[in-house]
Amino acid sequence: MTKKFYITTPIYYLNSAPHIGHAYTTLAADVLARYKKAKGEDVYFLTGTDEHGANIEKSANAAGVAPQKWVDDMAEKFKDLWTNLNINYDDFIRTTQPRHELTVQEIFEKLLKKGDIYKGKYSGKYCLSCECYLNESELVDGKCPIHKKEPQLIEEETYFFKLSAYQDALLKHYEQNKEFLSPSYRAAEIVNFVKNELKDLSVTRTKVKWGIPVKSDPEHTIYVWFDALINYISAIGYGKALGVKELQDYPLNMEDFWPADVHLIGKEIFRFHAVIWPAVLLALGLPLPKKVFAHGWWTIEGEKMSKTRGNFIDPRDITVKYGVDPLRYFIFREVPFGGDGDFSMDAFKKRFNADLANDLGNLLSRTLNMAAKNLGEIPAECNVKGSMLEKCVEADADYERHMDNLEFDKALDTAWLVIGGMNKYIDETKPWSLAKTDLQKAKNILTELVFSLKYVCKWIAPFMPETSKEMERRLKTGKIEKYAPLFPRIEA
């Protein structure tokens, strides 16, 4: 069996309901997976939920339910949203599942025995919202830079992971594998952090009970980040590879998936994935992922979306009114993937009307209306060659290059340049008028337009799968029917 193209999202923390920020990463993984699958690649797309730690315990207590009941209900909310957004993942891992917990415990014991984990005492400033300790240099005005709260001073017995031992190995890997830290403009931040002398990492807590206990020392629960990152290999059978008795019948084999081809994450967790996670993998003697890609945030009025700040956007509020595909299109066309973007309903409606209703919808309608009148039916094969189809072939190569580089906005720009060119081609050649004097030439132009639209179907399919299917239905071989507009305009 050849190795699968393995794509992961972060596993989302279940202290609150999902919002558009969570959806962004998962949709990006879905877009990439659909693109790769359409090319015939064997793809495995993993997402899931992070279900341990103090914040989960706190949220459950506030709701008056047991932590397990809380995470069961919240995990379903994430699954429901992914279904609503037409996200086709292959696996959904939960960190409370035995396949994960048993693997984490076995890894901990393996690294303890190897000497990469050792017992000590820790005193430091801990951000409860981040679930991590922060150095003084990371604080802004004495507060966590992400959550704007002062961290708590915590002192406790802990187990440490020897992160410092992997400083040189990490720097060497970054230097020899330029694609590993992506996009490239985020790499310097990580390299400088690692160069600035890595400190050993506290990986257990004694004061948090909602977590995975250390097998050989059950008073300690395993720190949420050390636990969470392991999901990428616990989901694909690493526990079985380690010889965990209860996992020997697990259906997946590690070697069919690892190393991951891309970890897609938000920029706020880049350091965990680009420093801690690869160091753990090095300690285990495993190869590192090929790429860790950290994208930016969707903001509202310049602030990162979060329920606690009251600027929470549920994607379903948009999809119920305007459909799923327009939202999927908007968030990847509006902002370069990797950078930050500010969400605005005004911008969404402008894109909907200009790009979808006017450019794409109008192009399909006018082409098929003219073809119905002058062609009668769509041929099985294109029997003409012309400049428009030549442009499609050129654009197809550009589109694939952009998709392979995760430049989703540029891939859509490529498609819309062709769509704009096709609309201009119609205006210039005027097939409706030409049909009166040279019917065959008009038929050739319309045939070329129909088959150019088939390229558009392919290009938009990862982003707007249902729209692509509907276009394919309308462009199928045979008699041309009359159809309603693809995207009715949003009226002010």
Q: Catalytic positions, please? A: 19, 22, 127, 130, 144, 147, 304, 307
The sign of the dihedral angle between the CA atoms of 231, 235, 241, 243 is positive
Provide the CA 128 distance to its chain's centre, in angstroms: 25
Residue 333's identity, in one-letter code, is R
Q: What does residue 205 show for φ and ψ, rounded to 5 degrees? A: -130, 150
Task: Tell me how crowded residue 239 is: count the other CB atoms within 10 A of its CB.
Answer: 28
What three-state secondary structure class fits 310? coil
The residue whose two tokens read 């002192």 is: 155
**Do residues 206 and 183 lie in contact, with contact meaning Cβ atoms separated by under 8 Å?**
no
How many Å apart are CA 47 and CA 278, to the nearest integer? 19
Identify whether 485 is preceded by a cis peptide bond (ω within 30 of 0). no
Structure tokens at 428: 């210039």
CA 457 vs CA 67, 362, 415, 461, 463: distances in Å: 45, 15, 10, 6, 10
How many Å apart are CA 434 and CA 134, to the nearest integer? 71
The residue whose two tokens read 């330029």 is: 178
Closest Cα to residue 132, out of 149, 120, 115?
149
